Amino acid sequence: MFRSGIGYDAHRFKEGRKLILGGVEIAHTRGLDGHSDADVLSHAIADALLGAIGERDIGHHFPNSDESIRGMSSLEILRGVGKLLAAQNYRVANVDATLIAEAPQIGPHLAAMRARISEAIGIDVAQVGIKATTNEGMGAIGREEGMAAMAVASVEQE
């Protein structure tokens, strides 16, 4: 049986933080604010995977009230989600995600992001699609107040 899920995440920019996207540190003037490393791309993918198996979102599984996970790498969140899928006899068929940001340029980092995400959830890099787009200067993302990502994931029950 195949199942699909969608995920979305958004974070504000914050001075003094590293920008981590898809598990890759990217040079930028600001990072994203959040309890973990605020990796919007990994968070959207985690929520898509959780949704595909009918689970609650990452805020339930990795709550921001849990100080033991403050600053946690979002790749660890993806690994945890992968373990949850495996425990319920699901395997990831594919993931497709879009990062929405005015800056920085994402293209040079896509291969590394795909590699890190595929490793974290235990699939081949060819099963991970990542794209980037801008918001054409509109809204909070267009004003460079933050970034967002959306993702869809398909899983198969073994």
* 121: enclosing H helix or E strand: helix 110-121
| Domains held by the chain: number | 1
Percentages (nearest 5) of helix, strand, coil residues in the chain: 35, 30, 35
Write out the residue range of the structural domain in which residue 53 sits: 2-157
Q: What is the pLDDT of residues 27-50, one digit of tens each?
A: 999 999 999 999 999 999 999 999
pTM above 0.85, yes or no: yes
Q: What is the pLDDT of residues 126-140, one digit of tens each?
A: 999 999 999 999 999
pLDDT at residue 69 greater than cutoff 90:
no
Query: Rounded to an integer, what distance in angstroms lies between the CA atom of residue 102 and that of residue 144?
Result: 6
CATH number of the domain bearing residue 55:
3.30.1330.50
